[in-house]
Every structure is written in C-alpha cells, then in structure tokens.
Amino acid sequence: MQKRSVQKLLVGLISGAVLTTSALLCPAQAQTALFLTYPPTQHETIADRIFLIGTAPLPGEVRVNGQLIDRTSAGHFAPSFPLKLGENRFTLRYGSQELNVRVMRLPTESEPPIGLAFGKDSLAPAVNLARQPGEDVCFGAIAAPGSTVSVKLANQTIALLPQAQANLPPNSAVLTQQNQPGQTIGRYQGCTRSLPVGDLGKPQFQLTQMGKTIDQSGPGGIKILGVNELETAEVTAEAGVARSGPSTDYSRLTPLPKGAQASITGAEGGWVRLDYGAWIQRSEVKITPNSVPPTSLIRSVRAQSIGDWTEIAFPLQVPVPVTVQQSDRAFTLTLFNTIAQTDTIKLSDDPLISRLDWQQVGPRQVQYTFNLKSSQQWGYKLRYEGTTLILSLRHPPRPQLRGLKILLDPGHGGPEDLGSRGPTGYPEKAVALKVSQLLRDELVKRGAAVIMTREADVDLGLQERVTLIHKTEPTIALSLHYNALPDSGDALNTKGVGTFWYQPQAHSLAMFLHNYLVQKLDRPSYGVFWNNLALTRPTVTPSVLLELGFMINPEEFEWVVNPNQQERLAIAIADGIEAWLRSTQTGIDQASGGSN
C-alpha cells in the first residue's frame, strides 16, 4: 500500500500481541510459535469486522475464542470476525500458547444525544467562514429526533429542519466493494441568503424539547464580504493544490502554477475560495488587498519544439488560474479571468500537435484545444515565466526500451515505514525492493536506463519520490507495492494484481500492464482503479502504481515471497512494458507518417 495514513490503519504495530507464556515474538520466531501480525493488541477501528493475520507451525490447531480456524498448508491464517460497538476481545490459542487482542469499534457518526443536548462537536460551521452577499450560508447540528432547532444571527432566526440525508462511506470502501450509502438520523440543517454585509460573529443555536430550551454558541464566526473588501491570492507554492472544497477531504483539481492570481470570494478556516471556484490553503498563497480583480487579455500564442517537448507560450497581462482536461487525441487548457483579442497563432508542423483550436467559452474563460496526432499522451508541464504561461507537451518516445528512461519506485522503506506485512511478519518494503531490483536488471539488460528511488532499506518520503519523477522526467514511472485491505475487507479470499492510475495519460499503461500480468502469470485480478495517490499524480510522465499481490492473504503470500515467482514477475513486467510501447504506435495519425 502507498498512503502512510492507510498503512497505519492496515498494519498497526507488530509488537501489540501479548503472549501469556513467553516474551513478545519477532518475525524470525514465527516458524516455532504462534505469531500474530495484525491487529495490534490495542486497536481502534470504525469497521464492523476485523481480520486476524498470523501463522503457527503445522501440525496443530489454532483457535480464536474457542473456534477452530482454517490454515493454509504453510500454517498461515486470516479469518475475519464481526465487531460490536465498543470493546471486542479475542483470545488465540495454539497448544499451550495464548495471545490476547483487544479491538475497540468506534461509531462512524456522532450519536444523537439523549435528552436536552446537541451532539458533541456537531454544530456547523465548525470554523470561521466568509461568503459573498446573496450566497447560501448553511448551519447544522445533531439533536434527538423530535427536537426544534434554530439559529439566531444578525437579528434573524433560521429554522433547522431534520434531514434524511444519506451517510456516505469513506473512499476506501470501494476497495472492499462496500461503498453503499447509509442513512443519517438526528441531523438538522438550514440555510439563508439574506445576511447583511459585515462581521456577524458566532451564531447562537437553540434547542427545544418538551417545553425546555437551551442555547449554545456556535464554534465558527460568520462574515459577509463587502464590495470594498476584495483581496487577491497569489500562489506561492510551486504547484498550488486546488481543491473542490475547503479541506483535504475534497477532490484535487488541476494544480495552480506558482504566481497564478485570483480574487478571493470566500473563506473557511484555513482555506480561501478563488473566483473560478477552487479552494486553496492559505499557507500556499500570499493575500493582498486589491480593489481590481486580476483579469487579462490574450492576443498571440506561439508554439515551438524544444528537445523532447513542444512549448506553447501564452502571453498574459497577469498570471491567471488554469485547468487541464485530457481526452483521446485532445489536450484542453482553460484560462480563467481571461478575454481573447486573438488574431494570430503560430503552430507549424509539430511531432505531437495536428491542430490548435480556441474559443471564448464564457465571459472570462478562453479554452484552447490541442488536437493530437496520437491517442497516447506522454506528459505535460505548466509554469509561469513572469506573466507568460508556458505549457509543455511531451513528444512520443521510440517504441522500444533501448535508450528509454524508466523510473522504478520500490514502495515504503526504512525502520518505520514497513508497508503491509504477511502472516510471518515479512514486510512489504523488503519484497517491493527485491522485485524492483530484479525488474531493474531485466530492463537494463534490454537497453533501458533505469532510475531507482531507493536502492536500499532507507526511509524516503512520498514527496521525495515525486520530486525525483519531476526532476528526471522518465518515459514512464512505476511504483511497486504489495497490497493490504481496510479492516472490513476479506483478507482470506481477496487476491490478485491491482493497478492504480490518476492522470489520463497513464490509463492505457495501467490497463495494459494489469491485463498483461494477469494473463501471462495466471494471477487473479483485483482490479484497475482511478486513485488520487502521490505516485500517480505526476503530470510529466505516465505514472502507475502496481499492487502486485496481497501480503495479508495467507495463500497468495507464499507466491509473493517465492524467489522463482519474483523472477517470473520481473520478466513479465518488462515484457509488458515493451508490448505496451509497441501498441502505442498503432494510434498515430497517418498524416504524421508514423514518425516521432
């Protein structure tokens, strides 16, 4: 697995299980004693079930709370058990040995309170927010069914009514095919658009039940922005993370190049909303007063080939926000807060672009569509040089490995970041490095230049890995991992290769490699996923994350650690890359003559 937050959930601490007859076990002792990899002794989860991953020597029986559990021919096990809310205890016995585990199941939603009270931390907005005049300002609370709830603010009383709104599962639920919405009870919501301009302070919530009333101040203050309070945000991060809402829970949008400017139209906690609709953290922008919203004219556009890239220059008066949309044979760039005065564009015969179309799609939106000679895209870059936006589009490479640059990223590494672990405690970081080294040797043998993010068991952050991709600009980038599941998953029966992509340019590579490995190695398919992961986000190259098998599956684990199968896997990945490179040539327009 890639994400460190998910890693903590999935693998816990191996030292958690307490052996009542001897000292704590380490992985090396797993062949001679009962050994539990997951979960740790004191574990908390919101899942309705938990799997127990471990091993014990054969012959012999392993029982959990007196129940005999199945084991593989190697002695490994991974049964799942239901969890009730609150404390759950599991006792594992193998001969005279015993392990005790305590799992706390936490509620997923704030529980409706009993009696005259609001739900804990349920009053919304929970942070200070700013909105423009005439916009919806919404309030929320959790209270017992049958309550009367309202908010007083700026001499107004806003009724909050009960809402039968579906409770969405987390994004990770799709990994276990359990992403069905549930129902939320006891939630009250209400909105208003008629608040006056000014700093209105904190709303006062009122709750009435059976003739009794309580009042409680909301945690977040409300401000309605005036016409003379305009501010401008200028992106100071190298790639500002634009999102669809004011927290990291919201989806990422096209990153904003350093220097991009936009008016602020709202705020919520540590986030500001930009005039084209995206949100960005205050820490990634410089905010200055500005009575004139940043807007720009655009006239000429010029393109030229520089090395392996085509650079297109868009001269602007101020750096404006942008978005990118990629589709088959098209790359679309939208400039916001921009008005066209364009009569001339220079675009000669290009290795990549067959034609450039543009249109003013809105009062302050200009859209440029690059029609491409190939259905496969290879990467792009965006930057500002002063007030000129530079878009770089990568040319197709040769359809062969010889001379190409390939980056391999062995997942995890170092003393803290073990990744997922198998029944014996063997860590993902070790097998990911081993297979990456085998693949490196195979690719080098075929003439490729290989870059490794790590060559040893060292700690390497996600951003360091991503930075290396952007710095070296490989033809493709592969991040190699082995899989685990959220607690609610079925570790005993879930197997197979999983593949993850994010940028559209990586979709073809992800699908091709996935199907190739499944077929050539006769492995199960876990599936292909669009996923917003650090190692799938780079724009400069098709970047794919491979989950090559499940560490936690007691049967597949034996395949994962088999040296012969590791060598077969490395050869199959190299073969798949070569086959995919050849396949990309079939989509090139006849007008280009099939040349690069």
DSSP-assigned states of every residue in 184-231 = --SEEEEEES-PPSEEEE--EEEEEETTEEEEEE-SS-EEE--TT--E
Helix (H, G, I), strand (E, B) or coil at 42: strand
Q: Cα separation of 548 and 419, whole Å?
A: 13
Convert the pLDDT of each residue in 7-25 to its tens digit: 333 333 333 333 332 223 3
Percent of the chain whose pLDDT exceeds 70: 92
Residue 467: the pLDDT is: 97
Distance, in Å, from the CA atom of 110 to the CA atom of 367, rounded to the nearest integer, reads 45
CA 260 to chain centre: 24
Q: What is the pLDDT of residues 510-528, one digit of tens each?
A: 999 999 999 999 999 999 9
Query: CA 120 → CA 159, 191, 230, 320, distances in Å?
Result: 20, 21, 36, 42
pLDDT of 1 reads 59
Average pLDDT over residues 381-400: 96
215: pLDDT strictly greater than 70: yes
Place of tokens 């199941």: 105
Q: How far apart are CA 469 and CA 108, in angstroms?
A: 38
From 155-159, 325-329, 582-586, the region with the lowest mean pLDDT: 582-586
Displacement of CA 228 from its chain's centroid (Å): 38
**pTM greater than 0.95 (yes/no):** no
Cα separation, 535 vs 230, in Å, equals 37
Is the pLDDT at 90 greater than 80? The verdict is: yes
* Burial environment of residue 402 by CB neighbours within 10 A (0 to 12, 13 to 18, 19 or more): exposed
| C-alpha to C-alpha distance for 211 and 53, rounded to whole angstroms | 54
Of the candidates 500, 528, 476, the one whose C-alpha atom is nearest the C-alpha of residue 6 is 500
Say which residues have a Cβ less than 8 Å from residue 313's Cβ, sequence separation at least 6: 301, 302, 303, 388, 389, 390
Chain centroid to CA 178: 18
Give the Cα separation of 563 and 502 in Å (integer): 31
* Residue reference for tokens 């009569």: 343
User: How far lies 47's CA from each of 80, 82, 105, 493, in Å?
Assistant: 11, 9, 7, 18
Residue 50: both structure tokens together: 């938990």
CA distance 310 to 306: 6
> What does the DSSP 8-state code read for residue 124?
B
pLDDT of residue 15: 30
Examine residue 196 and say whether the peptide bond preceding it is cis (omega within 30 degrees of 0).
no
Residue 172 has what pLDDT?
80
How many CA atoms lie less than 13 Å away from 479 in the CB half-sphere? 29
Q: Which residues of 446-467 are buried (b: 16+ CB within 10 A; e: fewer)?
A: eebbbbbbbeebeebebeebbe
Is the model more confident about 348 or about 117?
Answer: 117
